[in-house]
A = this chain, B = another copy of it.
Amino acid sequence: MNSGDTAFMLIATAMVMLMTPGLALFYGGLVRSKNILTTMMHSFACLGIVSIIWVVYGYSLAFGPDVGGIIGNLDWALLNGVGLEPGRYAATIPHLLFCAFQLMFAIITPALITGAWAERMKFSAYLIFTTLWITLVYFPVCHWVWGGGWLSQLGKNFALGHGHVDFAGSSVVHMTGGVAALAGALVLGPRRGKFKADGTPNAIPGHHIPMAMVGCFILAFGWFGFNAGSTLAGGDLRIGVVAVNTMLASAAAAFTSMLYMWNRYGKPDISMIANGFLAGLVAITAPCAFVNSVAAVAIGAIAGIFLCLGVFFVERVMKIDDPVGAISVHGVNGAWGVLSVGLFADGTYGDGLNGVAGTVKGLFYGDASQFTAQLIGTATNIIFVFVIMYVFFKVLDKFVPLRVSEEMELAGLDHSEVAVNAYPEFNLNKTHR
């Protein structure tokens, strides 16, 4: 046990907790004023619901003793046996603190999805969704990658590098969330007025861009806890690498998304830059400990371009309405991030990871099998999450209407869903309402 590690993980836990409110602000600023509180409430609800589920059975399913590589058993339900001794996952901190840290990841994953469904989803349906989704999708995927499940054992069992490697969650958190966002947005359909009769999109501007910027920056702050905390030890010197790479990738991504928009539309677009910044953070999340600084810049720079391409592809080609860009930020760049481990991992870290001797090396450093493991994990994530989500949403819609009524949507969801007017004193113009 180590006081520096324990102290560090407590602070990192608080920093990751703060990311969910960060999302609430980012998404809240990007929707119309009539829906802001409902949008914030989606994130807030995750804090409440997922915390309770996590204690009751979630932590045990995700991280508990493995059942056939598929899921944890219920030995740790109600945190039974999860105490102050070091646990299976971190030798120098209390097991319970690891559990608290991972709780924050479980909270933010359903929260990040919600942006894609903003301004039209019914709050009660959302609560049911969160409960079931976290159970059916998040806990298994988390177990496969981080809980000792089959994806993490691809190396040991099939000589595919170190198995599927995802340092801090490009796959487990972001891709999972992004793919679910896509499936949900497909089933839900676009907001009224988003697309013209001929399918061309209308811009529906966010009502408070400075608020979105604050959210973006709170996310970036928390991300240092998210990525560096995933060492599970403040004394792991690797956090030096993680810190530099996290900053560099986000900077590079913000930069390339700025250049892309400036070049294409003649002006830098601040909301795309903010999304680019986040895309860089998402992409570097999986590789942050395994790659060098130059690779981090490359991964980020590419993430910024992917973000712009993704946003336009989703809106203009797929005709899907994603009010905040969550599908591109988290889905596209989650996939890019986890694949980039298989390209850029430089063999300086990860000795013995997932029970495989030697360090983690990507394709550019001679290990094509690591890239294969990353590909398998990525494909599995996309297919599993998309199919489960799509079926689940279609079925759920039979029992609980997922969308609010047309009148509610026009009036704004805050009126019907949270009973409070966000800005009762401010005169708002009607054109955007």
Which A residues have a C-beta under 8 Å from some C-beta of B?
1-8, 10-11, 13-15, 17-18, 21, 24-25, 28, 32-33, 36-37, 40-41, 44, 47-49, 51-52, 55, 78-79, 84, 92-97, 99-100, 103, 123, 205-211, 213-214, 217, 220-221, 224-225, 228, 233-241, 243-244, 247-248, 250-252, 254-255, 258, 261, 265, 267-271, 273-274, 277, 293-294, 297, 416-429, 432-433
Q: List 25 A-B contacts (CB under 8 A).
A: A2-B4, A3-B8, A4-B7, A7-B7, A7-B11, A10-B240, A10-B243, A11-B225, A17-B221, A33-B426, A44-B274, A47-B254, A84-B238, A93-B240, A95-B240, A96-B243, A96-B244, A97-B237, A207-B424, A208-B210, A208-B423, A214-B214, A261-B419, A270-B418, A426-B428
CB contacts (< 8 Å) of A52 on chain B: these are 248, 251-252, 255, 297
CB contacts (< 8 Å) of A294 on chain B: these are 55, 78
- A217–chain B nearest beta-carbon distance, Å: 4
**A10 and B10 within 8 A (CB):** no
**B293 and A79 within 8 A (CB):** yes
Report if A205-B94 is in contact (Cβ < 8 Å); known contacts: A224-B13, A293-B78: no
Q: In whole angstroms, how far apart are the Cα atoms of A427 and B270 in the complex?
A: 21
- A73–chain B nearest beta-carbon distance, Å: 19
**Among B18, B25, B41, contact of A221 (Cβ-Cβ < 8 Å):** B18
- A95–chain B nearest beta-carbon distance, Å: 7
**A10 and B234 within 8 A (CB):** yes
**B427 and A243 within 8 A (CB):** no
Quick one: which of A123, A208, A241, A423 has the most chain B CB within 10 A? A423
Q: In whole angstroms, how far apart are the Cα atoms of A267 and B123 in the complex?
A: 10
**A427 and B424 within 8 A (CB):** no
Q: In whole angstroms, how far apart are the Cα atoms of A97 and B233 in the complex?
A: 15
CB nearest to A233 among chain B residues: B3
CB contacts (< 8 Å) of A7 on chain B: these are 4-5, 7-8, 11, 234-235, 239
**Among B48, B99, B251, B425, contact of A33 (Cβ-Cβ < 8 Å):** B425
Apart from A47-B277, A51-B252: 15 A-B pairs, beta carbons within 8 A: A2-B235, A3-B233, A3-B234, A8-B11, A10-B224, A17-B247, A41-B268, A44-B277, A48-B252, A78-B294, A93-B240, A207-B423, A207-B424, A270-B420, A426-B426
Report if A247-B51 is in contact (Cβ < 8 Å); known contacts: A239-B97, A418-B267, A419-B268: yes
**B251 and A48 within 8 A (CB):** yes
> How often does this chain occur in the complex, in copies?
3
Q: In whole angstroms, how far apart are the Cα atoms of A424 and B206 in the complex?
A: 7
- A335–chain B nearest beta-carbon distance, Å: 23
CB contacts (< 8 Å) of A217 on chain B: these are 18, 21, 24
**Among B5, B48, B239, B429, contact of A255 (Cβ-Cβ < 8 Å):** B48
**Among B84, B265, B427, contact of A429 (Cβ-Cβ < 8 Å):** B427
CB nearest to A94 among chain B residues: B240
**A422 and B209 within 8 A (CB):** yes
**B37 and A1 within 8 A (CB):** no
Q: In whole angstroms, how far apart are the Cα atoms of A426 and B430 in the complex?
A: 9
CB contacts (< 8 Å) of A432 on chain B: these are 424-425
- A53–chain B nearest beta-carbon distance, Å: 10
Q: In whole angstroms, how far apart are the Cα atoms of A235 and B209 in the complex?
A: 41
CB contacts (< 8 Å) of A268 on chain B: these are 41, 123, 417-419
CB contacts (< 8 Å) of A78 on chain B: these are 293-294
CB contacts (< 8 Å) of A1 on chain B: these are 235, 237
- A225–chain B nearest beta-carbon distance, Å: 7
- A226–chain B nearest beta-carbon distance, Å: 10
- A55–chain B nearest beta-carbon distance, Å: 5
**Among B28, B96, B236, B247, contact of A210 (Cβ-Cβ < 8 Å):** B28
- A188–chain B nearest beta-carbon distance, Å: 21
**B48 and A239 within 8 A (CB):** no
